[in-house]
Chains A and B, each alone.
Chain A
Amino acid sequence: MRGPRLNIRTVREPKWFSVALILLCCVPALLAIAAMSSDIIAHTRYFGSNPVKEGEHFLGEWTLRFIIASLTVTPLRQITGWNWLAKHRRTLGLFAFGYLMMHWITYALLDVQLDWGELVKDLMKRPYIIIGMVALVFMTALALTSTRNSIRRLGGKRWNRLHKLIYLVAILGVIHFWMGVKKDISDPLMYGICVAALLAWRLVRWWSRREVSAVTIPVGAQ
């Protein structure tokens, strides 16, 4: 176990990684924009017969994927020891926010077509829309405080506590998806399992660290 682990630790960040990651993160968005505009304007069927709905769901799912990706950074870093991964958490988180905005714009502008009465009714009456909007408000707060300046201003501890909101956003996102599907819950279930596993990892680590410190304190006191 030890040998290979040490080897992995020596892996440095490739020079091209930041740029490649950003380019890769843009691909689904560009595809969605290209497919939706082509389908709406030129009546192609890249997104099938109902491009607005399909594009809306596509962007929503990619939001969840980016949230999950950002939550995967820390466990991955802990397992592999590639500490340079940490700084890409913000990139993934900001892309999650970007996809969420595109998902929301598709819903409000292309799907509901800025029918304000309908938007307000959705927001008042439909629990899964309310849950989605709460997640959107939280995500906006996280995106706005994602700068180095904000960390300095808030202080590392408070900033960390605030950004734990991403756990709640991930859970709300899965619930929003779950409540939105008509009957077949297999897709939201898959995302739910991913989020649950990533949160469980943190819970187990937090729990075991507490146990360790509870044992070590009396030893140190002797």
Chain B
Amino acid sequence: MSAREKSNIPSSEITPESLYCDRRAFIATAGAMGVGAIAALSGMPGLAGAQQGAQQGAPQATGKPFGLQPNDKPTPWEDVTTYNNFYEFGTGKGDPAEQAKNFKTKPWTVRVDGLVNKPADYQLEDFLKPSGIEDRIYRHRCVEAWSMVIPWRGIMLADVIKRAEPTSKATFVEFTTLMDPKQMPGERENVLRWPYTEGLRLDEAQHPLALLAVGVYGRTLPNQNGAPLRLVLPWKYGFKSIKSIVRIRLTDAAPKTAWQQAAPSEYGFYSNVNPTVDHPRWSQATERRIGEFFKRKTLMFNGYAEQVGAMYAGMDLRKNY
């Protein structure tokens, strides 16, 4: 199934978000049980979430499903917006929802430069305007062996690159997150090399599945999910999908990525989801779908092998992890 093709999953298969449990109710129960103090002391993250986007109406799990398996259902909004890896706002899963509350995403400028004929600084609205905004439901696989199904809203990265007119020398794309330690407390800690950077081969960046997301569940992207603009690459481990992007630069050499620099033996440039190549410290053969107890088998390229496999034909994926 190509990214442009229609999926065979009827929209009736998708559980409406309203059927999932109510966060307020469980917070109230938690309080009633009096576990608050000990929970805070021992770092139970579930009790420290954020209430965001309430003014935008109920989250809608709408969109065209891409590469979903028959038993894939969108992960509840509560999980998608409280279980986050976004080290700029802390290393705990609940930290981003807590610490990104007051993050300013307006105004936002995106620079597109490097080996292009039309380098420019865009205001986010102008950056998005020429492209059609789409709702797409993707599988998401974190390198930590958990996974979700997420209804994203965004534009195709390929559109943005086409508009910039890459020169014939351009072979890679580098992405950079905002550097603002005042707003992003994590950037004051020496955990990764800031600002966070990521990279793709040009053909990967031009793949129709590569999405620049501005929303989730039909709402504006919450800050903890990488507002206002983030990458989504469903066939790669989650950390490749860089958040709060301020710069997209075309280059002629493989960009140094944040995790590659932090631990080169554990995180490679490609970081394609691959059940046969383990992380040095844990297996990648299975995953825990958030909200499910029994583990699932991890699929090659996270279930997108048909769409993306050709880009890696003939490559030794054990070496190019």
A contacts, CB < 8 Å to B:
27-28, 31, 35, 39-40, 43-50, 52-54, 58, 61-62, 110, 113, 115, 118, 121-122, 126, 128, 179-180, 182-184
Contact = CB atoms under 8 A, between A and B. Distances in A.
A206 to B, nearest CB: 34
A128 to B, nearest CB: 7
Nearest to B186: A184
Interface in B272-293: 280-283, 285-286, 288, 290-291, 293
B103 interface: no
B278 to A, nearest CB: 8
B295 interface: yes
Contacts, number: 94
B288 A126 contact: no
Contact of A49 (B82, B87, B262): B82
Interface of chain A: mostly helix, strand, loop or mixed: helix
A115 B283 CA distance: 12
Given A46-B46, A48-B94, A183-B191, A28 B83 contact: no
Contact of B30 (A27, A46, A58, A126): A46
A192 to B, nearest CB: 17
The 4 closest A-B pairs by CB, nearest first: A49-B83, A45-B46, A184-B91, A48-B46
B288 A52 contact: yes
A188 B29 CA distance: 32
A115 B78 CA distance: 30
B283 A118 contact: yes
Contact of B38 (A27, A49, A53, A184): A27
Q: Which of A47, A49, A62 lies at the interface centre, i.e. has the most chain B CB atoms within 10 A of its CB?
A: A49
B44 A183 contact: no
B95 to A, nearest CB: 10
29 contacts: A28-B42, A31-B35, A31-B38, A31-B39, A35-B35, A44-B29, A45-B23, A45-B26, A45-B49, A45-B79, A46-B26, A46-B30, A47-B45, A47-B46, A48-B46, A49-B82, A49-B93, A49-B290, A49-B291, A50-B146, A52-B293, A53-B288, A54-B45, A61-B42, A62-B42, A122-B282, A126-B282, A180-B281, A183-B262
A74 B294 CA distance: 44
Nearest to B21: A43
Contacts of B285: 118
Contact of A58 (B44, B47, B295): B44
Interface of B: 21, 23, 26, 29-30, 35, 38-39, 42-47, 49, 78-79, 82-83, 87, 91, 93-94, 144, 146, 189, 191-192, 262-263, 280-283, 285-286, 288, 290-291, 293-295
B42 A48 contact: no
Contacts of A180: 281
A221 to B, nearest CB: 56
Nearest to A55: B44
Contacts of B35: 31, 35, 46
A120 to B, nearest CB: 11
A182 B93 contact: no
Contact of B44 (A47, A179, A182): A47
B26 to A, nearest CB: 5
A28 B39 CA distance: 9
Contacts of B38: 27-28, 31
A58 B42 contact: yes
